[in-house]
Structure 1
Amino acid sequence: MSSATFVTRADKSALADTVASRFIEVVAPLTETRDVHVALTGGSMGIASLAAIAGHDDLRTVDWSRVHFWFSDERFVARADGDRNTLQAREALLDVLPDARVHEPWATEDGDLDDAALAYASELERFAAADASAPVFDVTFLGVGPDAHIASLFPGRDEIHVESATVLPIRESPKPPSERVTFTLPIINASERVWLVVAGADKSDAVARIRAGADPETAPAAVARGTSETIVFADDAASA
């Protein structure tokens, strides 16, 4: 696993622009020769980064028909619910990329929570290499909560330690909505690049825990690592 590098910018806007430029710089040359898999995140900083990508001058240097977008977690609510990460991501970026391939977790109208997790795991397996359970993500974006959670992996919960599944159903989430689906930590940490995007003074303790390499039981974000690159993109307030 790679050690974490910290990239700091003055504010959320400058940070989103930096993330967008780095993303296009990485993904554009990859799409010249093969398909690319990207895991998206929700949250204000994650969605701001997608909006910055949508507005980037070099947007069309990427062959978006070769990009598969996935979601490291999703709120199990109706498809039109404003809490859906997928809805926010579509509004920020995906709707302007009609050629991109979007793999969206089930909403409540599609079935129950357990089946939603199983269906998303099955979708991952469809695009995996032989004898693998999921594709290797070229970039996995992760937001970070004030409690240092990532995806829907929260401190002090059993889901942090699960290694036998790729996707889990989450009930009684500490943060509403209470029902969600989430990637497990092994799938996240199999990614080539893990980029944590975090902004705001309320996240400064979480960033400090990442810097300190805290235990996953208290800070899941501290053990999110890409195999070749891990970057924490943070604004000044979060890095204070």
Structure 2
Amino acid sequence: MIEATPTDVAARVADRFLTRLRARTVNGRVAHVALTGGSMGGAVLAATRDDPRSASIDWSLVHFWWGDERFVPRDDADRNALQSRNALLDHIPVPPENIHEVAGSDDGLTLDEAAYAYAAELARFGTDENPWPAFAVCFLGVGPDGHIASLFPDREEVTVTDAAALPVRNSPKPPPERVTLTRPVINTSKRVWLVLTGADKASALGLALAGASYTSVPVAGARGRKRTVFFVDEAAASEVSPDLIDQAY
């Protein structure tokens, strides 16, 4: 989906998000959602908060997780969870136990222990097939280098298939220590929604749509079981062939 500006992208994604949550929860079904950070992650959540339809969602049926988290103190502005709380979670009646944050560096756990604890929390809501929930929606931002969550190009984490969450050290993008979901968790999501804006993302988007190797361009390996959608602005779509654009979603 291509919109003119980042603001338009955020509004479109928020609209689709509320529509999906309504469809999922209207009959009492639980929806697990994996959030992302970054400017667009926050913009989508803020647009969701400001949409009047937000009041019609039964938020007690929605569980929030994160595709990755920066291993910094809980009140650090770099934390994705803090950004998500400020943009949406602190403004809706979601039960505290439905918000599944990665431990902060000030919680008394090491980085490895934080990753292990996050995997254990995921397992509490696992399915018959996997020790993690099947996300109704998994939001992903995309870096100019093609990274998703904290799965960076040509690093060991992007190839791991036998764990749900991993510690990340010496991240190419600061802060250096993080916890990330793995590719198998992302790819068992029902829907993967990738939100990216700006001309600096055009190359990564083009490589993903061209079927690049996911080890070198991790976004190329992100696939939802039911749907995979790229929500982009015109700048990010500058290298996309018109025949790859579907405006009907």
The two structures share one fold, judged by TM-score above 0.5:
yes
| Corresponding position: 1:104 with 2:98 | no
Amino acid at match of 2:11: D
Of 162, 170, 173 in structure 2, the residue corresponding to residue 172 of structure 1 is 170
Partner of residue 136, structure 1: 134
The count of aligned residue pairs is 234
Amino acid at match of 1:134: W
Of 57, 74, 79 in structure 2, the residue corresponding to residue 84 of structure 1 is 79
User: Matched residues in 2 for 1:170 and 1:159: separation?
Assistant: 8
Normalising by the residue count of structure 2, what TM-score does the alignment of the two structures yield?
A: 0.92
Contact 1:29 1:62 in 2 (8 A): no
Amino acid at match of 1:150: I
Identical residues among aligned pairs (%): 52
Q: Deviations over 1:31-89 (max 9, x none)?
A: 12211100000011111111100001211221101000000100000000000000000
SS across alignment from 1:205: helix
Compute the displacement of 1:13 (Å).
Answer: 0.4
Compute the displacement of 1:29 (Å).
Answer: 2.1
Q: Deviations over 1:3-35 (max 9, x none)?
A: xxxx00000001100000000111112112211
Normalising by the residue count of structure 1, what TM-score does the alignment of the two structures yield?
A: 0.96
Compute the displacement of 1:99 (Å).
Answer: 2.2
| Corresponding position: 1:31 with 2:25 | yes
Compute the displacement of 1:131 (Å).
Answer: 5.4
Of 192, 195, 200 in structure 2, the residue corresponding to residue 202 of structure 1 is 200
User: Matched residues in 2 for 1:99 and 1:21: separation?
Assistant: 19
**Root mean square deviation of aligned Cα:** 0.9
Amino acid at match of 1:56: D
Unaligned runs of 5+ in 2: 239-249
| Corresponding position: 1:63 with 2:58 | yes
Q: Which aligned segments of 4 or more residues in structure 1 are displaced greater than 6 angstroms?
A: none
Of 5, 8, 15 in structure 1, the residue corresponding to residue 9 of structure 2 is 15
Query: What aligned pairs does 1:180-219 form with structure 2 within 5 A after superposition?
Result: 180-219=178-217
Partner of residue 144, structure 2: 146
Partner of residue 233, structure 1: 231
Larger mean CA deviation between 74-83 and 209-218 belongs to 209-218
Larger relative CO (CA 8 A, sep 6+): 1 or 2? 1
Partner of residue 49, structure 1: 44
User: Matched residues in 2 for 1:123 and 1:79: separation?
Assistant: 18
